[in-house]
Structure 1
């Protein structure tokens, strides 16, 4: 990024951090070229809570952010503006946003207070964390840098009171974290301005002692919670937990808002159960920051810095390990439509090509196959799945002889299998005509070589607790899934092919009278192992990865859409080639039998 980037959009990261602002009612942005405090306005950076923020340039060419706070919108607003300016002069550190100057504007009859701030070029910490390849060392380094910023701030008597990822920027040039936006900070030299129970802040980062005070003094006139050092440290614990796991320590309440009962009385799920790549040495620090009582946390930010520095110096921890290897940003809607159109186009081309091929075989069977037909007759390409993380349940034996499924059942079950198989054959041959249709319907079904069935197996460590506690699933609960969006044709799968959760998996979706919550979001991938036994494909899934990279241990078995364990092979299956129905189900179990 250049030293003087082009005019930022209203979504520039500075708006969610150092320059929380709001255009004063009834006013318009200042025109480009307006001079304030010797700097020239180049445009509006955006708006937020209390002020308008402009990009300004000094006569020497230095670009900064100028925060314009109104003084004529009531005494509380004016006092907050003066307080922010004064607090900024007390703080100076590499990991704190620098205040470069302040004053009133216009000089005659001033209506605004301006504060000039360093323009930190770079993403907010949550945006930074979305990028793939963030290592454990990267995350702990950012937490240490924020802890240093809090140590300097607290030493000056300043409590931030709104520590969160949106108020932490990561410098583009150096990669260091910068704590910004002291608009709701507190210092003992200043009177309390808040009239409500809690000081300004973000509820998801509010400490348990604050919620406890609110309950104890509910309805009490004039009751106001006064934050302390422990509140900033707890909020940093929430930030660290999110960086390690991709989720908040506690899920929202059933009907929205914070689950205060959980914050007050429940211990967060240990980070290593959410993301197995989190080492216990780091987990201990994170959970201590989230302790229910402030005295159980670190006594101050200085002590936290010492702990993190000593931890980071350890050589028995793999600091280069990537925390969220599959993390990626959500797909934009137009990109999804592009995928749909591609699938539709390829499917249409395949149907036309198959019809043309059948006709050409009738007219000129000895004629060489034209190039276009070879292209459309090839199998539909599939996007390569992410690498499986679960250990193999059975060894691969591709060289084993082909076996026909033995007839081991009798009665109604014997009749049901041929019916399902004939339906599968008709679906597979759908769209073909002439000789191609006859060849397809008459083709014998080959069965891939069988793998030895794995013995009964316990679920992964913490899987049952995660499914029933964290995710809210019930043992025996079933959910429809799919391997792709193409219906009417078999999907080729391998032993380690993951399964996609299409649509949000709502916990307790078949329970009446209760609000649902999302257990696993749309496009979560399930990882495990598939194997063939007696002509059916069986599967055990032991890990779920959400689109944001959150990893859950799970215990799910594969079913067909009729609820039978395992899937029937489609026509065209052969050695090393398993074709199955694109739509399947999984069932929550507490043990693989």
Structure 2
């Protein structure tokens, strides 16, 4: 006999005190002002916002601070049903590694337009932010805690369906992992809300059996994949693989998007080959979670917990080692800059002396530096004629000397002089002759591609001026090398109407979409103009977006290690929706 869930309808959990609502709900999705009362709670600020829900930091009269999720009821029956489903599923679950639901109701009391869900406020970083620099024992303890949360959830018949690092918070006070966001969770007694083959989720965490079902039933009316415990365990395997190696088990396909063939038919590269610090005993657990069928994985989350606890008791594994080192601790400012200044001073002095000696031996004025290989610069407005380019780039040399002899000898003199130095001075000396890629004039202001503005606003639901996080690499903590036509990957769903709290059924640009455009260098910064978006299913949209750094400044700072044809930038950047390139 199946368990029946409470039917959706007006049912506030607590009576609303008279006069508690000091402001009516806004007519649009704008955040509520600080001081608004929702039931007993007073709004202190916004924690997260999207088209489907807004999450506020709220405080009760006794000073208790919590998170309050506000879900609209006036955006269709499906949205209302999903809101009440989240409420009913949250009431079933109680565990220290699952976010606690503290109450629910409707607001305003007289004319309800929202469902509110009061949740425990978990303060701390996501697992992805927390993991680098942590010991192997700490990482495995967090995975064990998530497995315990899944065991409790599955025992209650609730499938999370969106297990990923962003939905695992590490509580700052205790260091424990907490699985959050039941926005797309499901119970066998729940009606099907999603139209289409797959439930909401994040593509790189989707299990092989789900992809296989999609291929077998593509185009079949009414076909819909039902996620089970094995799907959550596979997703946790992806989380563990990333925590150990810093990358996904399977690389993107050649033209972007998820490599479904690899997920279905190839084994992931063993973690210890990606990161030699990963012990084989830990690798075995990870690879079993990533097995191609649910039957080949653990029988359930309870069995996984037992395996992880048995693994934790082994004494032949060094649990204190750090699989993925975090950022280096900062040196003392004065000491660090003093060493840099001294090294640069010595290096420049020696390099200049070597150059002077070389110039006294052989003079070659008027020569141009060789063209860098694949420099990241804007394409010229009009390519020069070959014959004129050849005439203007002829270097002048001493009569009788072979071409390029003087530059070669000068470089050899610099290298010889540098060999007498060590450490930072040697690095500064050798770096004295390196330059960032040559700058060409920045491209003039430019109109967006035809139809791009209408596509972004009407079809994709994007707004002018808003910005989104994208990445060149999912490995954090070190710069990445890019070139002038390097594409950017959408690392998370851009949901229609800025719905970025939890996954939704309809997305503007789904996970693993790739943005294409051009990069150029100006005054030591890299600028980007992106004009095309390609989704994992091959849909191409014209777009108009420029590039921002983490501080919302236009362009990116060149990172150390940049040189001719070698542009080093941060792995994660932001792109901004614009209606014209300035």
CA distance in 2: counterparts of 1:328 and 1:313, whole angstroms = 30
If the length of structure 1 is used for normalisation, what is the TM-score?
A: 0.56
**Structure 2 partner of 1:318:** 318
- How far apart, CA to CA, are the structure 2 residues paired with 1:444 and 1:65? 60
Query: Which structure ranks higher in relative contact order (CA pairs < 8 Å, sequence separation ≥ 6)?
Result: 2
Counterpart of 2:411 (choices 418, 427, 448) is 427
- Residue of structure 2 in register with 1:54 after alignment: 56
Match of 2:481 among 503, 520, 523: 503
Relative to structure 1, is the Cα distance of residues 427 and 52 closer, same or farther in structure 2, using a 3 angstrom cutoff?
A: same
State the alpha-carbon separation in 1 of the partners of residues 421 and 191 from structure 2: 79
Instruction: Check the 8 A contact 1:52/1:68 in 2, yes or no.
Output: yes
Alpha carbons of 1:240 and 1:505: their partners in 2 closer, same or farther (altered >3 Å)? farther
Residues 1:198 and 1:61: Cα distance change in structure 2 (over 3 Å): same
The change in CA–CA distance for 1:280 and 1:349 in structure 2 (over 3 A counts) is closer
> What does the per-residue CA deviation read over 1:520-574, in whole Å, with 9 as the maximum and x for residues that have no partner?
xxxxxxxxxxxxxxxxxxxxxxxxxxxxxxxxxxxxxxxxxxxxxxxxxxxxxxx
SS for the counterpart of 2:131 is helix
Give distance in 2, aligned partners of 1:160 and 1:45.
22
Matched, 1:193 2:171: no
Q: Which residue of 1 aligns with 2:258?
A: 258
Aligned to 1:119: 121
Mapped to 1, the partners of 2:86 and 2:63 lie a distance apart of 26
CA distance in 2, matches of 1:160, 1:444: 60
- SS across alignment from 2:92: coil
Structure 1's 39 and 222: CA in aligned 2 closer, same or farther, altered over 3 A?
same
Specify the alignment match of 2:146 in structure 1. 146
- Equivalent-residue separation in structure 2 for 1:78 and 1:226 (angstroms): 21
Q: Quote how far apart the aligned CAs of 1:181 are.
A: 0.1
SS of structure 2 residue aligned to 1:169:
strand
After superposition, what is the alpha-carbon deviation per residue over 1:18-46, rounded to whole angstroms, capped at 9, x for unaligned? Answer: xxxxx998332212111112011112222
Q: CA deviation at 1:483?
A: 11
Show the 5 A alignment for 1:178-327.
Answer: 178-325=178-325, 327=326
Does the 8 Å contact 1:70/1:77 carry over to 2?
yes
Cα drift, residue 109 of structure 1: 1.0
* Conservation of the 8 A alpha-carbon contact between 1:24 and 1:51: no
- CA shift, 1:88, in A, is 0.7
Q: Which aligned pairs between 1:270-419 and structure 2 lie closer than 5 A?
A: 270-325=270-325, 327-328=326-327, 346=344, 350=348
Tell whether the 8 Å contact from 1:148 to 1:305 is kept in structure 2 after alignment: yes
The corresponding residue for 1:91 is 93
Asked if structure 1 preserves the Cα contact closer than 8 Å seen for 2:350 and 2:418, the reply is: no
Looking at structure 2, the residues matched to 312 and 328 of structure 1 have their Cα atoms a distance apart, in angstroms, of 27
Deviation at 1:124, TM superposition (A): 0.4
Once superposed, what is the RMSD of the aligned Cα atoms? 4.1
Alpha-carbon offset, residue 504 of structure 1:
4.6
Residue in structure 1 matching 2:432, options 486, 506, 509: 486
Counterpart of 1:78 in structure 2 is 80
Moved more, 271-280 or 346-355: 346-355
| TM-score of the superposed pair, with normalisation by structure 2 | 0.57
Residues 84, 185 of structure 1: 8 Å contact kept? yes
Using the alignment, how far apart are the partners of 1:446 and 1:46 within structure 2? 57
Residues 316 and 447 (structure 1), Cα distance of their counterparts in 2 relative to 1, 3 Å cut: closer
Measure how far apart 1:92 and its partner are.
0.4
Partners of 1:502 and 1:296 in 2: CA distance: 37
Match of 2:66 in 1: 64
Alpha-carbon deviation of 1:47? 0.9
SS at 1:197's partner residue? coil
